[in-house]
Amino acid sequence: MKKLKQIIANVKSADEDTEGYNDLLWQLICYSPKMPLRLQQQQLLDDAERFTLQACDEHFTHTNLNFNGFKWGSGARKIFITHGWGSKAADFIDLITALRDIPNTTIITYDVPGNGSSEGELSNGALFMEAVKAVIAEYGTPDVLIGHSIGAMANVMALNAVGAVPNLLVSITPLMRLKENFEISMNAVGVPAEKQLAYFDGFAALVGNPASFYDTDKFYKFDDGLKHLLLYDEADTVSPFVFMKAFIDTRPFISTLNHTGAGHAGILKSPRAVADIVAEVRQALNGINA
């Protein structure tokens, strides 16, 4: 968090005409703050079997980056969890603890490159997607796939990329529109409109697609054949409900739960949200290799 604060300070104090201003914006957008583990989180990870996989960093280092994963149990029923931005595997401590009570399961989660304990200075949605794909390649299609924020978006992208369909997809305050999320971040620190446009031009040149391309609505190719639970907070300012509503209104087959006041990240600690997810997971796993 200290580094992020310094990046924000640098952006605010920089002359907009200074060479390298756009580089500061890349750091602002793509640096994921790394929070230290709490004692209970460390204890949870100490109880896990650890593994390391690789994800291709196509845009920043142009190398394969190692990322760390954690596995609890060895049951036939597989549950994968993808964290969100500025987060890490251990931030699902409440949910993982509750899910471990379900018999015959294997629970797998991971720190995406550039996040938590994994390699990488910067991160982006592509690295999130590549991490999910790597875990599926290593451990197979999960029976349940859970994601938070950009992790929920990455789950959808990865499932499309590998042609996999879980028995249950759980999206927790999913990020819906990447470009608008970037704009929120830049507006918060006073980046002028013309500099934002320059950044988006640079983004499109580097990534090969405009930021507006990364819209969950465009990637979502599933129908009622996929059981999907989506939890949201209608007061969410990170992933605004107006975008969520536009998404779910056209997909009435998605089960939705509004947890108003839980917060974009705080929902992970909500006992009611955890209970709702666990109940849905139990139902989805009922009869599968029980």
Cβ-based neighbour number of residue 164 at 10 Å:
16
User: What is the structure's pLDDT at 17?
Assistant: 74
Q: Would the pLDDT of 1 be above 80?
A: no
User: What is the structure's pLDDT at 259?
Assistant: 97
Q: Would the pLDDT of 18 be above 80?
A: no
User: What is the structure's pLDDT at 224?
Assistant: 95
User: What is the structure's pLDDT at 2?
Assistant: 85
Q: How much is the pTM?
A: 0.97
User: What is the structure's pLDDT at 256?
Assistant: 98
The CATH 3.40.50.1820 domain(s) of the chain lie at 36-176+218-285
User: What is the structure's pLDDT at 229?
Assistant: 98
Q: Would the pLDDT of 275 be above 90?
A: yes
Q: Can you tell me the mean pLDDT for 128-133?
A: 98
User: What is the structure's pLDDT at 288?
Assistant: 85
Q: How confident is the model at residue 20 (pLDDT cuts 50, 70, 90)?
A: confident
User: What is the structure's pLDDT at 49?
Assistant: 98
Alpha-carbon span 37 to 278, nearest angstrom: 24
pLDDT in tens, 196-254: 999 999 999 999 999 999 999 999 999 999 999 999 999 999 999 999 999 999 999 99
Taking Cα atoms as reference points, which of 258, 285, 235, 273 lies closest to residue 92? 273
**CATH label, 36-176+218-285, candidates 3.40.50.1820, 2.40.220.10, 3.40.30.10, 3.40.50.2020:** 3.40.50.1820
pLDDT in tens, 139-194: 999 999 999 999 999 999 999 999 999 999 999 999 999 999 999 999 999 999 99
The tokens 């592509």 sit on which residue?
126
DSSP string, the chain: -HHHHHHHHHHHHS-TTSTTHHHHHHHHHH----PPPPHHHHHHHHTSEEEEEEEEETTTT-EEEEEEEEEE---SEEEEEE--TT--GGGGHHHHHHHTTSSSEEEEEE--TTSTTSS-S---HHHHHHHHHHHHHHH---SEEEEETHHHHHHHHHHHHHT---SEEEEES---BHHHHHHHHHHHTT--HHHHHHHHHHHHHHHSS-GGG-BHHHH----TTSEEEEEE-TT-TTTTHHHHHHHHHT-TTSEEEE-TTS-TTGGGG-HHHHHHHHHHHHHHHTTS--
Q: Would the pLDDT of 19 be above 90?
A: no
pLDDT in tens, 35-66: 999 999 999 999 999 999 999 999 999 999 99
Q: Would the pLDDT of 290 be above 80?
A: no
pLDDT in tens, 83-109: 999 999 999 999 999 999 999 999 999
